[in-house]
């Protein structure tokens, strides 16, 4: 049995995760996947009541699961950063989820923000290094809260960390038949990103069948807008990956379709929508669940059921093409109605009416 830990989190998290679980439960029962689910109450409510984020007993239990399905964290009653760092980042670092996999796929031309660019041009994947760089948290303050205050934040790049994310990206590009583009700022960050350049060139010799390319980070943001069709797989560092994947989310039609996998094939991986907890619309049954349902699709692919992941993607495509979506995408369905519709489409794809 494959065990999935469900963490709805805050705001709209529970609403959208319900629909993702609905899809997973349908696939589980129909195709006898042997999935087991357990929900964990990690988030603002627990923190406000008990003053704890991820207690050790839960962290230890999560080690026994195959995947984590996360809704969202963040609440206006909690100072910004506490939940994000104490839950999301803690899980990423504890399980050493060194790959952040972010597909950027436009499902329908009507949602493209780019003139003359549609579904044939906007379809690539960003492989973001997820545990090093500026997000490693190395730094501090000198003379804090004085006019002479100095704050430092160090960018960390280890050869081990760079090599393993590059290997994942090369393997992904080989598997998908696409070219691999590395993006850095090696002309200015002459130490950390010189390491990236040397490691990339060395590893490219082991993957002669994969076409490679290189863009500085400022250039790649321009190219993503002007010529998104030139990209298949982009690999980059933590900070730059964080930024360009949000740009990618807008290219694919907004955060309601943006999905993320935090992956370590050897420990526990975590899958989530990246739209945040949206407390202003929580409880209204209007949140867009499509990114969360796509995250469910990533989970079944991660567990080895690629054909079922493709079916989830096809069902989302059908939902968008037929305008069976929430109001933010121009539709009239509620959150739960979108989930019900996706299950209906999956049944039709199987041949059940």
Catalytic residue among 75, 184, 242, 313: 242
Catalytic residue among 41, 143, 160, 218: 218
CA angle 124, 72, 37 (to 5 degrees): 95
**Residue 94 bears catalytic tag:** no
Q: Give Cα 2 to chain centroid, integer Å.
A: 21
Phi, psi angles (nearest 5°) of residue 163? -60, -40
Nearest to 167 by CA among 223, 133, 127, 217: 127
Catalytic residue among 185, 302, 313, 324: 185
Catalytic residue among 66, 96, 163, 246: 246
Strand partners for 263? 99
CA end-to-end span of the chain, whole Å?
29
**Residue 120 bears catalytic tag:** no
Mark 161-183 as b/e (b = at least 16 C-beta within 10 Å). bbebbbebbbebbeeeebbbbbb
Q: Cα(153)–Cα(158) distance, rounded to whole angstroms?
A: 16
Judge whether 189 and 217 are in contact, CB under 8 Å: no
Catalytic residue among 26, 47, 98, 135: 135
Name residues whose C-beta falls within 8 Å of residue 86's C-beta, 6 or more positions apart in sequence.
47, 53, 54
Q: Cα(14)–Cα(285) distance, rounded to whole angstroms?
A: 10
Judge whether 278 and 12 are in contact, CB under 8 Å: yes
**Residue 117 bears catalytic tag:** no
Q: Which residues are catalytic?
A: 135, 185, 218, 242, 246
């Amino acid at each position: 049995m494959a065990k999935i830990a469900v963490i709805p989190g805050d705001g709209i998290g529970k609403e959208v995760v319900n629909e993702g679980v609905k899809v997973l439960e349908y696939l589980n029962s129909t195709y006898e996947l042997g999935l087991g689910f357990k929900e964990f109450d990690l988030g603002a409510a627990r923190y406000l009541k008990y003053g704890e984020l991820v207690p050790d007993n839960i962290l230890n239990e999560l080690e026994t699961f195959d995947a984590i399905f996360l809704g969202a964290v963040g609440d206006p009653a909690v100072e910004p950063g506490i939940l994000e760092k104490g839950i999301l980042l803690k899980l990423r670092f504890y399980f050493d989820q060194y790959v952040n996999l972010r597909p950027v796929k436009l499902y329908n031309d009507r949602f493209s923000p780019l003139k003359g660019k549609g579904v044939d041009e906007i379809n690539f994947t960003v492989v973001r290094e997820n545990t090093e760089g500026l997000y490693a948290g190395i730094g501090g303050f000198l003379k804090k809260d004085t006019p002479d205050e100095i704050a430092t934040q160090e960018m960390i790049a280890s050869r081990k960390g760079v090599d393993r994310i590059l290997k994942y990206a090369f393997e992904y590009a080989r598997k998908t038949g696409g070219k691999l583009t590395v993006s850095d700022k090696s002309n200015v960050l002459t130490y950390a990103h010189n390491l990236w350049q040397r490691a990339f060139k060395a590893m490219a010799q082991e993957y002669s069948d994969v076409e490679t390319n290189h863009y500085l980070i400022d250039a790649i943001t321009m190219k993503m807008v002007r010529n998104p069709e030139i990209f298949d797989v982009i690999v980059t560092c933590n900070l730059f990956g964080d930024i360009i994947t949000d740009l990618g989310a807008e290219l694919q039609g907004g955060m309601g379709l943006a999905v993320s996998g935090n992956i370590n094939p050897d420990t526990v991986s975590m899958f989530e929508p990246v739209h945040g907890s949206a407390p202003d619309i929580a409880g209204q049954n209007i949140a867009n669940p499509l990114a969360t349902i796509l995250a469910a699709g990533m989970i079944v692919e991660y567990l080895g059921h690629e054909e079922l992941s493709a079916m989830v993607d096809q069902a989302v495509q059908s939902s968008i093409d037929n305008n069976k979506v929430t109001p933010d995408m121009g539709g009239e369905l509620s959150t739960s109605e979108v989930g019900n519709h996706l299950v209906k489409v999956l049944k039709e794809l199987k041949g059940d009416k």
